[in-house]
């Protein structure tokens, strides 16, 4: 055995099993009697996680984010809310489209690491922009089925401005949205969509209108 400290407090630099011993000295009949007490315990070294990278995979109706971290600790993961819920797995499926903030928390209370995923998640098949300027190219915004996909699985698509006002409702089989509201062109800006699938799931995201 190696003595770590002879004081009531000690600093540990390595994980492992340790034993704490304390002695109470009692004077009895002119003699000193030591009454020892000991307890075995384990130390786990922890530190705040460092988020190395975020791997993003995109499939229609299922955006996935994998959080890769480094550090000495026992970690759990959450997205978009530092209060959780947290999970053991670093893989998140069916993540809503848009900017995503991930949180990595040390179970031993050493802190929470936060990172906003810089890549703007966009559901596959929904264009990131369109240019309704009448030149015959990208004049309509519409869902484009991914390659090797024949069934769009969509019922309808709603388009909103940044204030949440409904601008258009389009059928996935139509030409799409021409960038007008009540017969007038809307300004170049970011707009949001909410698509409803045939099994009642919602796909959300946003795109840019450029003029």
Give the residue numbers spanning the domain of 80: 50-116
pLDDT confidence of residue 60: 45
**What DSSP line would sit under 16-33, residue for residue?**
EEEEEEEEEEEEETTEEE
In a domain, 124, yes or no: no
The pLDDT tens digits for 120-156 are 445 668 888 999 998 888 999 998 876 555 556 789 9
CATH number at residue 200: 2.60.40
- Does residue 41 contact residue 20 with C-beta atoms inside 8 Å? yes
Given a cut of 90, is residue 33 above it in pLDDT?
no
Q: How many helices (H) and strands (E) does the chain have?
A: 0, 15
In a domain, 122, yes or no: no
In a domain, 91, yes or no: yes
pLDDT confidence of residue 189: 95
Q: For residue 83, how many other CB atoms are within 10 A of its CB?
A: 9
Count CA within 13 A, CB hemisphere, residue 191: 31
Q: Pick the last residue of a domain from 65, 82, 116.
A: 116
Shared domain check, 72 and 39: no
Nearest to 140 by CA among 209, 193, 189: 209
The pLDDT tens digits for 172-185 are 989 999 999 999 99
Global model pTM greater than 0.85: no
Shared domain check, 189 and 135: yes
**How many domains does the chain contain in total?**
3
DSSP single-letter state for residue 188: S
Give the containing element (helix H, strand E) for 169. Answer: strand 166-170
Give the containing element (helix H, strand E) for 64. Answer: strand 62-70
Ranking 30-39, 71-80, 131-140 by mean pLDDT, the lowest is 30-39
Shared domain check, 62 and 37: no
Alpha-carbon span 167 to 147, nearest angstrom: 29
In a domain, 202, yes or no: yes
């Amino acid at each position: 055995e190696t003595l770590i400290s002879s004081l009531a407090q000690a600093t540990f630099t390595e994980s492992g099993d340790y034993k704490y011993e304390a002695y109470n000295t009692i004077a009895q009949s002119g003699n000193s009697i030591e009454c020892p007490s000991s307890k075995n315990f384990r130390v786990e070294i922890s530190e705040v996680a460092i988020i190395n990278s975020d791997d993003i995979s995109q499939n229609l109706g299922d955006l996935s984010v994998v959080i890769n971290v480094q550090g000495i600790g026992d970690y759990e993961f959450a997205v978009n809310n530092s209060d959780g819920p947290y999970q053991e797995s670093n893989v998140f499926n069916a993540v809503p489209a848009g900017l995503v903030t991930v949180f990595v928390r040390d179970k031993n209370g050493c802190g929470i690491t936060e990172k906003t995923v810089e890549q703007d998640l966009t559901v596959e098949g929904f264009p990131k922009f369109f240019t309704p300027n009448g030149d015959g190219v990208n004049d309509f915004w519409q869902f484009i089925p991914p390659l090797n996909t024949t069934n769009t699985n969509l019922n309808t698509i709603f388009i909103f401005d940044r204030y949440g006002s409904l601008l258009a409702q389009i059928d996935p089989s139509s030409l799409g949205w021409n960038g007008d509201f009540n017969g007038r062109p809307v300004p170049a800006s970011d707009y949001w969509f909410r698509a409803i699938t045939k099994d009642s799931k919602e796909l959300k995201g946003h795109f840019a209108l450029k003029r």
